[in-house]
Chains A and B, each alone.
Chain A
Amino acid sequence: MQTKRTIFPNKLLPYALLAPQLAVTLIFFIWPAAQAVKSSFEREDPFGFRTTFIWFENYTRLFSEPGYLNSLTKTAIFAVSVTLLSMSLSLLLAVAVNRVLKSNRAYTTLLVWPYAVAPVVVGILWWFMFNPTIGIAPYMLRGLGIDWNHRVDGNQAMILVVIAASWKQISYNFLFFVAGLQSVPQSLNEAAAIDGAGPFKRFWTIVFPLLSPTTFFLLIVNINYAMFDTFGLIDATTNGGPNQATNILVYKVYADGFLGLNIGSSAAQSVVLMLIVIALTAIQFRYIERRVQY
Chain B
Amino acid sequence: MATIDLIDLKKNYGNVPAVKGVNLKVADGELIVLVGPSGCGKSTLLRMVAGLETVTSGRIEIGGKDVVRAEPAERDIAMVFQNYALYPHMSVRGNLEYGLKNRGTPRGEIDRRVQDAADILEIGPLLDRKPRQLSGGQRQRVAMGRAIVREPAAFLFDEPLSNLDAKLRVQMRVEIRRLQRRLKTTSLYVTHDQLEAMTLADRLVVMNGGLVEQIGTPTEVYDRPATLFVAGFIGSPPMNLIPAASLSAGENAGTLRLGAETDIVGLRPDQLYIARPEGDVLTLAGTVELLEPVGGESHLHVQINGTEQPIILTVQGRPKLAEGDTITVYARPEDIHPFNQQTGRRTDAN
What is A's interface to B at a CB cutoff of 8 Å?
185, 187-188, 190-198, 201, 205-206, 209-210, 294
Contacts and interface: CB of A to CB of B under 8 A. Distances in A.
Interface centre among A195, A196, A209, A210 (most CB of B within 10 A): A195
Nearest to A212: B89
B89 A193 contact: no
A294 B102 contact: no
Q: By DSSP majority rule, is chain A's interface helix, strand, loop, or mixed? A: helix
Interface stretch (B78-86, B209-217, B268-276): B78-86
A292 to B, nearest CB: 10
Given A193-B72, A193-B73, A294-B89, A187 B81 contact: yes
Given A196-B73, A209-B89, A191 B81 contact: yes
B52 interface: yes
A294 B86 CA distance: 12
Nearest to A194: B72
Contacts of B72: 190, 193-194
Contact of B88 (A190, A194, A210): A210
8 contacts: A187-B85, A190-B50, A193-B71, A196-B73, A196-B103, A209-B89, A210-B88, A294-B88
B65 interface: no
A102 to B, nearest CB: 11
A194 B98 contact: no
A193 B73 CA distance: 6
Contact of B89 (A190, A194, A197, A210): A210
B87 A192 contact: yes
A198 B99 CA distance: 11
Given A185-B83, A196-B73, A196-B99, 10 more contacts: A187-B85, A190-B50, A191-B87, A191-B146, A194-B72, A194-B73, A194-B77, A197-B98, A210-B88, A294-B132
Nearest to B75: A194
Contacts of A190: 50, 52, 72, 79, 81, 85
Contacts of A192: 87, 98
A197 B150 CA distance: 14
Interface string B70-113: 01110001110111010111000000001100110000000000
Contacts of B82: 187
B173 interface: no
Interface in B116-156: 130, 132, 146, 150
A185 B71 contact: no
Contact of A193 (B52, B130, B150): B52
A194 B73 CA distance: 5
A205 B88 CA distance: 11
A187 B83 contact: yes
Interface in B319-346: none
Nearest to A184: B88
B85 A188 contact: yes
A235 to B, nearest CB: 43
A202 to B, nearest CB: 10
B98 A195 contact: yes
A59 to B, nearest CB: 44
Contacts of A210: 88-89
Contacts of A187: 81-83, 85
A175 B142 CA distance: 34
B69 to A, nearest CB: 15
Interface string B273-288: 0000000000000000
Contacts of A198: 73
Nearest to B158: A187
A44 to B, nearest CB: 55
B67 to A, nearest CB: 13
A190 B83 CA distance: 12
A201 B73 CA distance: 13
B93 to A, nearest CB: 14
B73 A191 contact: no
Contacts of A191: 79, 81, 85, 87, 146
Nearest to B81: A187
B219 to A, nearest CB: 33
Nearest to A210: B89
Nearest to B104: A196
A198 B72 CA distance: 10
A198 B103 CA distance: 11
